[in-house]
Structure 1
């Protein structure tokens, strides 16, 4: 199927052609006709499946075709959890709607509000926002949503993870009851499923690439390595000039900065992107990486949501996450839209339990690469208990102590 078979208007088809789009992805093919008809939609899809275009394209067409357009009043609201993802979505709206007389704007926290406020006062048709900044603007009377016709909740499960669900519920009480609702989430925990049932009316259900699946176009591999050799292994891999653009995932903000510092000392250009960086610093780092002025981008998971780089070929998991689904999200930054990609995961003794859980989730064993100078076969043997029994690794806890440890500490403190 081609895009012109979906009933799209010529200005949008021309814009898609200019972007190099030829055929819709599965979620676009399934979602666009239903959204054009004004139906509510529940989409189970992860980043990299083309879901932004799946809702942006029909929203642009429906708003541009309205008999009474009411120009420059907010008629579509896209709510998303992170600044990077919000910016990416707005860029897509600009690309697909460049031949249409519709204004889109992105608003988010972490920067001064004056510039965003001035643009809002000039009038906006489509608003892409993070929850906190949107509620700030609403409370100040800067944003009014009386004319809203379409509401999109994107990355709903990430909203839950980041504690934004209560903010979402506040916003839902402030928008017109009569509207079209589009709801996207990679996973459906109970709270998200309940929220979807409260928002959607007789929705069309579209499920594409569930979070437990990895793209067949991504070549995955594991490197067993001692923790203190991980940076040296990364530098060793980067000696190959083919790795000209690599996204590295770190578990922590401090860890990301530490990796960048060591790469810089080895004359490898790298920048970090995480929550402690200012918005301008994050955007500059992302821009430098996209343009290949910076070779390596080191990111934490939350900051990496919304990083969408055309033809990114390499992703490195410096550590595995305790949340197995995160592995799928991470490596999904490569191998997008049918292109080929490669992921490397560095596994030390404390990563073994996470590796087992990840392989169980994706339903496959990830091949192990042994042909490198830092390979070790003795991760489990390195740690033994007092009875000389093999140590069973447990997932890292991000510094959180168990209740047993806390109680023991409190006992001795009282003594």
Structure 2
């Protein structure tokens, strides 16, 4: 199936072509016609399947009615659980809406509210928001909902996980009863279905992927490694690979420690988590997307909204307590049909988490045979170094690292700081 078979306008087709896409993904092929029909939609799709375009494209077409928006009265509302995801969604709107006479803005916490109020007063068609900041703006009488025609809940499952259900419920009660409702989630959990009953009216259900599945294009393996040896293992792997890597840490403090250890080894790394300011998080994410950093170390919540095309490798430094988070994590690679690799570091006390994950995804994750287990060298060949070389003999590696540091006299170049993303876009 092609995009021109989905009922999309010529101007949107041009934008899709300019973005380099030719064939819709499963979720796009199913959701775009459904949204264009005006029905309420409840869609499940894993991270990396193109679900954002699945609602932004038809949303842009439905709103293109030549009606000028009133000040502080958006016509469509998209709610997301995190600031990063909100920025990604608005970027998608900006990309696909380049030929449309529509305007959009994104609002989230952690930054000055005054520019956001000013943007809303200028009149915008599409508002992308996190629940907390949206309620702040409503209390400031900076936004009114009487013109809302379409409501989108993106990553509804994560919205519930993060405890936003009460904020979301308060917002929905302020919206017009007559509206189109779109819910997108990674899974159709019991909680998501309960929420859907309070929002959607006879929704069309779309399940683009088997529930709790991992993408076939992702090769998964794990290392059995003591907790104290994980940093050395990570350094060893990264020194054999010049591809970009997203590393997941369970805690904010550990993310900082990992990033610091990597930078000491001249591996350009940044950490992103909730303790960082919004400017720091935006700068780090933009730097990673522009290949200024080889490694990004992230916590689960901070990583929501990270959308990197062709990200080749994800590493779980810590195993997640919630098995579904594993699916979300590794879904950052292997996107849009490209190949990806996911490596997990599993200590003895994390074997139970590994078993729970395997039970969830209904497949065994293979034990890595080599320290570099198919991480690419310059010829894309596998290194044949026994795993015990690192796990059982860490001192020789540390001595080697000392010798390497001794001969590295060049100072690391200072990296420019990316500016905040533009918060208002007139497409």
Give the 5 Å matches for 1:254-333.
Answer: 254-333=253-332
1:213 matched to 2:213? The reply is yes
Instruction: Please state how far the C-alpha of 1:46 moved relative to its aligned partner.
Output: 2.3
Please, what TM-score do these two structures have when normalized by structure 2? Answer: 0.86
Residue-by-residue CA offset, 1:202-222 (whole Å, 9 max, x unaligned): 111100124521111111111
1: CA distance between counterparts of 2:370 and 2:36?
A: 53
Partner residue in 2 for 1:136: 136
Whether contact under 8 Å (2:84, 2:306) holds in the other structure is yes
In structure 2, what is the Cα distance between the partners aligned to 1:45 and 1:293?
A: 30
Match of 2:175 in 1: 175
8 Å contact from structure 2 (residues 187, 212) kept in 1: no
Match of 1:39 in 2: 39
Q: Report the 3-state secondary structure (helix = DSSP H, G, I; strand = E; otherwise coil) of the residue aligned with 1:144.
A: coil
Q: Residue 111 of structure 2 corresponds to which residue in structure 1?
A: 111
Supply the distance in 2 between the matched residues of 1:58 and 1:289 (Cα, whole angstroms). Answer: 30
Question: Residue 108 of structure 2 contacts residue 134 of structure 2 at CA under 8 Å; is this kept in 1?
Answer: yes
Show the counterpart of 1:189: 189
Deviation at 1:249, TM superposition (A): 0.2
Q: Is the 8 A contact 1:80 1:154 kept in 2?
A: yes
State the shift of 1:121 in Å: 1.2
Identify the residue that residue 56 of structure 1 maps to in structure 2.
56
In structure 2, how many angstroms separate the alpha carbons of the residues matched to 1:211 and 1:304?
A: 21
Shift of 1:40: 0.4
**Residue aligning to 1:228:** 228
Q: CA deviation at 1:88?
A: 0.2
Contact 1:46 1:210 in 2 (8 A): no
Deviation sequence 1:127-170 (CA, Å, 0-9, x none): 00000000000111001111100000111111111110000000
- Cα drift, residue 190 of structure 1: 2.9
> Partners in 2 of 1:233 and 1:53 — Cα distance?
38
Name the SS of the counterpart of 1:346 in structure 2. strand
Which sections of structure 2, spanning at least 5 residues, go unmatched? 372-384, 392-427
1:64-114 residue CA offsets vs partner (Å, 9 max, x unmatched): 1x2645466411000010000000000000000000110011100011112
- CA separation in 1, counterparts of 2:181 and 2:204? 11
In structure 1, what is the equivalent of residue 395 of structure 2? none
Asked whether the equivalents of residues 187 and 210 of structure 1 are also in contact (C-alpha less than 8 Å), the reply is no
User: Secondary structure of the residue that 1:172 maps to in structure 2?
Assistant: helix
Q: Distance in 2 between matches of 1:290 and 1:245?
A: 9
Equivalence for 2:249? 250
TM norm structure 1: 0.88
| Inter-partner Cα distance in structure 1 for 2:229 and 2:387 | 9
Q: How many residues align?
A: 376
> Could you tell me which residue of structure 1 aligns to residue 345 of structure 2?
346
Moved more, 367-376 or 180-189: 367-376
Q: Which residue of 2 aligns with 1:366?
A: 365
Q: Distance in 1 between matches of 2:347 and 2:253?
A: 19
Alignment of 1:96 onto 2:66: no
C-alpha displacement at 1:299, in angstroms?
A: 0.1
Deviating runs (4+, > 6 A) in structure 1? none
